[in-house]
Structure 1
Amino acid sequence: MRNLNNELEDFLEHLRVERGLSHNTITAYKHDIHCFVLFLNKKSFKVNWDKIKHDYISKYLFQIMKDGLSDSTRARRLASLKTFFSFLLEANIINIDPTEDIKSPRNISKLPEVMSEDDINKLFDFVFSNKTKEGYRDFAMLELLYATGMRVSELVDLKLNDIDLNSQRIRCMGKGSKERILPIHENSKIVLDNYIHKYRPEFTKLRNEKNLFLNRLGKKLSRQGFWFILKTYAVKLNLKNKLYPHVFRHSFATHLLHGGASLRHVQVLLGHASITTTQIYTHLTDDHLRDEFHRAHPRSS
């Protein structure tokens, strides 16, 4: 049976590998969540993530305000809890996010970082210029991440039989073992077809190796392995502050909304349990809509 530490460690690993956060930032998240757990323990509440309700969060925020913590510290503590419970919700560990309707002491929320289309094209062009088996593998992985919005953990877990090139669909196992079928466009189909039939066999001759993306030893590529590959490209292209695994997921969602996709459509593609998780991307498109308005309106100076 899994315990509380399992969920917390999974969350911290998600922050490190999927979101590419620094050691200090992850330590801060861990500290903030431990402070909340200590508060619950003092209240003789047996901590069980799916039993935590809205009022426990409110009482905790009230207590740390009484303790004299600043608005900024309380806002950070709440932001950490919101991120953690959002992770638990997506993983089907909880059914309701107890932090959903709780407002921050400071009305400031950090929006997901998104790569511009120019930066994505710059990265893709650079990776594609690496005419090796590793280069073609990397290009296929990045193409698939941006084309589908899947998580890196989902990407490295793909098996050969999850790919249906004829119907241009991919079967993806998300958090909580939730399956979803993702469409891919023609370019992605061509890139995947090329990798699977021409370059993947150079990694291994074993027919019983079912994993789609392999390392140099012919074994399954790990999340850590993917992160190392991405960091290498980030350094070479001077994109160190822009390039981390989850940025492709953020960019996929934002660019789809820019292109006119519905919020519900994007929610299904991302595999979000709640549409409120997806709504964060609408804030990113607000600036785009304002810029387009000022560019296009005849009375805009």
Structure 2
Amino acid sequence: MEEQIKSFLTYLTNEKRYSANTLASYSSDLRQLCAYAESQRKAKDGTASVGVELNAQILAGYMRNLRERKYTLSTVARKVAAAKSFLKFLTETGKLRDDLSPQLASPHVNKSAPRPLSISEVRRLLAEPGKARTFEGKRDKAMLELLYATGLRASEMVGLNVKDIDVRGSKVHCSGRNLRARLIPIDQHIIQILKEYMAGARSQLVNNEEENALFVNHRGERLTRQGFWKIIQGYADKIGLKNEVTPRALRHSFAVHRLKGGTDLQSVQQLLGHAHVSTTRVYKQAEARS
């Protein structure tokens, strides 16, 4: 199945032009499915099989396994979406006789936007990393300030490279979803924070001079989305914010506060990288309620 997964990822790269972060998620999710299928075949036959085939029984067991692991609904939905796309690809390319994708039922996920933080809550959150006076604290300060200043998605934030920061032009280059690139302006206050981080903390955290990632973890490697989420939630807990605070919540707060400040809907749409203005209207509705 490994070769089939590689073929599928190549198809997504060349034909669908999926972003690197989406490809990484699909790769991880499908290899989890592959590992589960192989474990079931080994349990049944006593031997592992690289060429393990998928069937309705294995897929039903995989769904039970996902539920038992107590993943969030959104995580399960993503894994199911990856598996369904993979199964359809196998059918279309003749690797499977019958399309098994209907065997997988995706859970309903409430896609309503999270509650925006108040401006005072955002200020407290942004101030917290600076109290540590450590390399990680300076990194976290730069990350949170940049996130609230740009409204980047978590995947876009951790995907940034040093070269994506245009210090002279005061802009951030973001590849975005499905390779929709955009330039986001940032003010000199944020530029200064980033310059200090890149010259100081980042240079101390990075172990390999060839590392391109803007934000790195304690091992000097690119920070993951999960790591980024834990960092934000950790600071939210420290200042006593009761609701779950995620990168998406800060992105939402950015949009709502921009609209409250008088930025028009189309401009916010461009900043957020939405393909359709209808997607951005949810923030307008939240701004009206707040």
TM superposition score normalised by structure 1: 0.63
Gaps of 5+ in 1: 14-21, 49-75, 84-109, 289-301
Code of the residue aligned with 2:203 in structure 1: it is P
1:1-301 correspondence to structure 2 within 5 Å: 1-2=8-9, 23=70, 25-26=72-73, 30=77, 77=108, 80=109, 83=111, 110-204=112-206, 206-288=208-290
TM-aligned CA distance change 1:240 to 1:205, over 3 Å: same
2:91 equivalent in structure 1:
none
SS at match of 1:279: helix
Distance in 2 of aligned mates of 1:287 and 1:132: 39
Please list the CA deviations of residues 100-157 of structure 1 after superposition, one character each: whole Å capped at 9, or x if unmatched. Answer: xxxxxxxxxx443101111111111211111000000000000010000001111111
Please list the CA deviations of residues 205-247 of structure 1 after superposition, one character each: whole Å capped at 9, or x if unmatched. Answer: 5321111111111111111111222222222222251411111
Distance in 2 of aligned mates of 1:167 and 1:216: 30
Runs of 4+ in 1 over 3 A off after TM superposition: 22-25, 27-31, 45-48
- The alpha carbon displacement at 1:46 in A equals 6.5
Distance in 1 of aligned mates of 2:76 and 2:209: 43
TM-aligned CA distance change 1:23 to 1:260, over 3 Å: farther
SS at match of 2:217: coil
- Aligned positions, number: 217
Distance in 1 of aligned mates of 2:184 and 2:139: 20
Is the contact made by 2:207 and 2:219 (CA closer than 8 Å) also made in structure 1?
no
Identity percentage over the alignment?
35
Distance in 1 of aligned mates of 2:100 and 2:152: 31
Question: Greater relative contact order (Cα 8 A, min sep 6): structure 1 or 2?
Answer: 1
SS at match of 1:280: helix
Is the contact made by 1:115 and 1:242 (CA closer than 8 Å) also made in structure 2?
no
TM-aligned CA distance change 1:23 to 1:258, over 3 Å: farther
Code of the residue aligned with 1:26 in structure 2: it is L
Please list the CA deviations of residues 175-223 of structure 1 after superposition, one character each: whole Å capped at 9, or x if unmatched. Answer: 1121111111121111101101122111125321111111111111111
TM superposition score normalised by structure 2: 0.65
Distance in 1 of aligned mates of 2:186 and 2:100: 42
Please list the CA deviations of residues 69-123 of structure 1 after superposition, one character each: whole Å capped at 9, or x if unmatched. Answer: xxxxxxx95xx3x84xxxxxxxxxxxxxxxxxxxxxxxxxx44310111111111
CA RMSD, Structure 1 to Structure 2 (Å): 3.5
